[in-house]
Amino acid sequence: MLVVDDKGLNVMKVIVEKNTIIKSILIIVAAFFILSAANYYFTSQIDHLEDLTVELHSKNPPIKQGDRTIFQVLVYDKNHTPVENVKVEIKLTSKLYKTETLNRKFVHIEDGLYETDLQFFHHGEWEVAILLKKGLSKISKPFDLLVEK
């Protein structure tokens, strides 16, 4: 049913279009709040990255120059619960050749286990930094590593 005002305009049609626009805006706002709440829930599962424990292991020790080495990182919280929702990277710098730097991202395998592989072209001592990232938070955990000839 159309209502016509004194100027011959379709007033009812305009009201229906305004209601449709308002409903669309409300749906968009509700979706935004739901997504914001979900994001907060998933990002608040880790209180502080500093509280996480990080273990670095070689899957096939000893680590030798020229060999491909699989590295594993275990990440868990203060309750020893595995942490799955962080980005893990490794940065290695040769203590002998300071310009020799290796960077890799880890792949999540299961629970708090992450893996990557590297090949060392120089032996000696290496400084290792395991980088953990979650949202805007970042932390670096240092390790030392020996690569044999």
Q: What is the pLDDT of residues 47-82, one digit of tens each?
A: 577 889 999 999 989 999 999 999 999 999 989 999
| pLDDT at 140 (0 to 100) | 93
Three-state DSSP at 79 gives coil
Q: What is the residue extent of each domain of the chain?
A: 1-44, 49-147
List helix spans (H) across the chain: 11-43
- Tell which CATH architecture fits domain 49-147: Sandwich (2.60)
Residues 93, 108: contact at Cβ < 8 Å?
Answer: no
Residues 145, 60: contact at Cβ < 8 Å?
Answer: no
| pLDDT at 31 (0 to 100) | 82
135 to 23, 31, 66, 91, 126: CA distances (angstroms): 32, 21, 36, 19, 29
Question: How far is Cα of residue 32 from the mean position of the Cα atoms in its chain?
Answer: 21
| pLDDT at 34 (0 to 100) | 82
Predicted model pTM: 0.67
Residues 72, 59: contact at Cβ < 8 Å?
Answer: yes
* Under-50 pLDDT residues of the chain: 44-45
| CA dist., res. 55 & res. 100, Å (int) | 23
Dump strand ranges (E) for 1-149.
Answer: 53-58, 68-76, 87-94, 101-105, 107-110, 113-119, 124-134, 137-147
| pLDDT at 86 (0 to 100) | 92
What residue has token string 């592989």? 117
